[in-house]
Amino acid sequence: MKSFIILLLVGICLGCGEKIKEANLTNYQQWHTITLPFEGPDTKEDAAENPFLNYRLIVEFKHMETQQSIRGFYAADGQASETSADSGNVWQVRFTPDRMGKWTYTAQLQQGEGIALKGDDFEGVSIDITNASGEFMVIPSDKQGADFRTHGRLVNDKGYFRFKDSGKYWMKGGADSPENLLAYEDFDGTYRMQSSNEDGEAKTNDTIHSYRPHLKDWKNGDPTWKDGKGKGLIGALNYLSSKGMNVAYFLTMNIKGDGKDVWPYASPDNFTRFDVSKLEQWEIVFQHMQSKGILLHMVLQETENETMLDDGDTGPMRQLYLREMVARFGHHLGMNFNLGEENGYAEFTPISQNDAQRRAMTDFITEIDPYNHPILLHTHSHEPYRGYILDSIVGFKNLDGLSLQVDKREGAGEVMETWKTKARESGHEWMITMDEIGMWHTGAQSDSITPNHDTLRSNVLWGTLLSGGAGVEWYFGARNRYNDLNTEDWRTRDRLWELTGYALDFFQDNLPYWEMKANHKRINSNDAYCLEKPGEVYAIYLTDSKEHTIDLTAAEGTFQIQWFNPLTGGEMHLGTVSSIEGEGIRSLGRSSSKDNQDWVVLLKRTQTAK
């Protein structure tokens, strides 16, 4: 409270990295990233003494209640996003403090052959650096609304996203496409290696993303780099946020994959040298996403390249790649790692990681990530390939869940419920998100073709969320005009974002969904979906306006009935029956509207039986 009063008196609004002086200490805000620079030896990306392999920066942050060891990274001149520098003497560390009060830090830069691949307790030759120790104060965050710095870090809890510090649960909805979001012309060193015209892939030419339709969505005060670059992508993210969406899916490496236009390296054929300026420009975009409350769904590889590094093992090249991703971006509050798109064997991708390799990669990310981000596995779209892989790894403690792909949308809810149940029975609850809906060639089409996205709305959006899903993302298919690789304008699915937002609002405003389980048989309709906390609350999706019943034989008390329109969102409505009693099979009545459409029914117990 004392620190908060001081902040008010000073009257300074702190942004990420902004600071004030109080009692001779630098003050930072809770959940705002701190970037500390250290000057060491002059080097460059292609130096004979590889700065990514043969140097290691470790910074120990200590608080009276906790301490954390955070890896740093080579940052060229420390301003590479603006200068495009590939040389310099600056190393940096990024740290996001979760506790208020006084922190101290000590930094050590060491040199040695392959030391970046060694554990933190391995000793190398110590290198003198500036700013090697210090202390600072952490005061309350001034953020509000969707900004992740309002609530803190997202973790997996009970199969759902939860803010670790505030305890608030959170559900995602947003864009799975374009998967090559980072193939953007304003990023340094970014181009398409080869166009694609293969069956089973979206067609490409030599043009990468500009996001020009979203230039109008960039606002004064939004970030840019290099004298105005970045406005198209920043504007696109502004638009997505304005529709209430809170997640974007992107690959960080698609060498050999569909797009062949995203990689973190200085060159796509050398996996030991990273493009510092490009990665700094990615970081500007990622910071903006966090300020807009957009989850970073970071997909680490693609099915075509999952054995490119170390033949699929977590050997030196994969370890280096993962360490760089965690060191540079792991500080973000809203992020999950994805082991890779369509991971594992299928007929069309027979050269693939096996179960042991998936487990090893998962274990390594768990080991090196100081922030405990959820780790998900993106699945194949159908049986038997999905089951071959998942039956082997279900129950594995370090895998948080699935990034689910389903080919036939009418079965999406059943697939979700099946794997939620299998995971629960294994003793390790899985977070499962519905991230890619088929068929592969169609996915979510433009609003101009399917104005209300009827089958997606029914079977996928409501069907999977009411089957235990922790969120949904929309894949744009391979054969649509605006597809998974070439989409420049998210407005092509404007109505789909609206429909998704209505569902997210319903869940966040009305349900303790993290305490509920699917039980579709509760309703006398084969097409209905039901998520329940038995005897307390039931959320039911009906595909029509007919009168249906619910089995409340084992429930006691009085239940209020309200109706929600999934096409318009907004307020709840009363129907022809306002309340029902438990201990029997009861009619839900009908919506007061005469429209023959789908509806969501909410039952909440208002009083217990006498």
Does position 22 have pLDDT exceeding 70, yes or no?
no
pLDDT for 595 equals 83
Q: What is the DSSP string of 478-509?
A: SSSSS-TTT---GGGGHHHHHHHHHHHHHHHH
pLDDT digits (tens, 9 = 90+) for 154-203: 999 999 999 999 999 999 999 999 999 999 999 999 999 988 777 777 87
Averaged pLDDT, 321-335: 98
Averaged pLDDT, 107-122: 94
Beta strands in 447-590 (DSSP E): 471-474, 517-518, 529-533, 537-542, 549-551, 558-564, 579-581, 585-587
Averaged pLDDT, 45-49: 98
Q: Element (H or E) spanning 398, and its range?
A: none
Q: Element (H or E) spanning 46, and its range?
A: none
- What's the whole-model pTM score? 0.94
8 A C-beta contact, residue 539 and residue 604: no
At residue 248, the 3 state secondary structure works out as strand
pLDDT for 592 equals 87
- Band (pLDDT 50/70/90 cuts) for residue 237 is very high
Q: Of the candidates 375, 302, 288, which has an alpha carbon nearest to the alpha carbon of residue 332? A: 288
Q: Is 213 exposed, middle or buried (0-12, 13-18, 19+ CB in 10 A)?
A: middle
Taking all residues of the chain, what is their mean pLDDT, rounded to a whole number? Answer: 94
Residue 430 DSSP code: P
Q: Taking the domains of the chain in order of start, what are their residue ranges?
A: 2-140, 162-179+241-256+287-509, 519-607
Does position 610 have pLDDT exceeding 80, yes or no?
no
pLDDT for 11 equals 35
Alpha-helical segments (H) within 292-406: 316-329, 355-368, 385-393
HSE at residue 25, side-chain half, CA atoms within 13 A, is 17
Q: What residues pair up with 533 in beta bridges, in sequence order? A: 537
Does position 304 have pLDDT exceeding 60, yes or no?
yes
Tokens of 44: 């460059």
Averaged pLDDT, 465-477: 98
Torsions phi, psi of 163, nearest 5?
A: -70, 120
Encode 363-426 in three state secondary structure.
HHHHHHCCCCCCEEEECCCCCCHHHHHHHHHCCCCCCCEEEEEECCHHHHHHHHHHHHHHHHHH
Cα gap 482→449, rounded to integer Å: 12
Residue whose tokens read 């040298």:
273
pLDDT for 609 equals 54
Does position 580 have pLDDT exceeding 50, yes or no?
yes
pLDDT for 23 equals 55
Q: What residues pair up with 474 in beta bridges, in sequence order? A: 175
Q: Of the candidates 358, 391, 360, 395, which has an alpha carbon nearest to the alpha carbon of residue 377? A: 358
pLDDT for 8 equals 35
At residue 327, the 3 state secondary structure works out as helix
pLDDT for 608 equals 66
Does position 221 have pLDDT exceeding 70, yes or no?
yes
Strands 172-175 and 247-251 turn out to be parallel
Strands 101-111 and 599-607 turn out to be unpaired
Cα gap 305→458, rounded to integer Å: 34
Strands 295-299 and 401-406 turn out to be unpaired
pLDDT for 14 equals 36
pLDDT for 279 equals 99
Residue 150 DSSP code: G
Q: Of the candidates 273, 165, 249, 262, which has an alpha carbon nearest to the alpha carbon of residue 208? A: 262
- Band (pLDDT 50/70/90 cuts) for residue 7 is very low
Cα gap 562→343, rounded to integer Å: 42
Q: What is the DSSP string of 30-45?
A: TTSPEEEEEEEEEEET
pLDDT digits (tens, 9 = 90+) for 279-301: 999 999 999 999 999 999 999 99
Cα gap 275→421, rounded to integer Å: 43
- Band (pLDDT 50/70/90 cuts) for residue 21 is very low
Residue whose tokens read 């470790």:
58
- Check whether domain 2-140 has CATH 2.60.40.10, yes or no: yes
More confident residue, 45 or 18: 45
Q: Of the candidates 281, 371, 284, 364, which has an alpha carbon nearest to the alpha carbon of residue 335? A: 371
Q: Which CATH architecture has domain 162-179+241-256+287-509?
A: Alpha-Beta Barrel (3.20)
Cα gap 159→515, rounded to integer Å: 10
Q: Of the candidates 55, 47, 43, which has an alpha carbon nearest to the alpha carbon of residue 114? A: 55
8 A C-beta contact, residue 59 and residue 105: yes
Cα gap 460→472, rounded to integer Å: 8
Question: Angle at CA 470, nearest 5°, toward 545 and 247?
Answer: 105
Does position 20 have pLDDT exceeding 50, yes or no?
no
pLDDT for 341 equals 97
Does position 16 have pLDDT exceeding 60, yes or no?
no
Instruction: Tell me the Cα Rg of the chain.
Output: 25
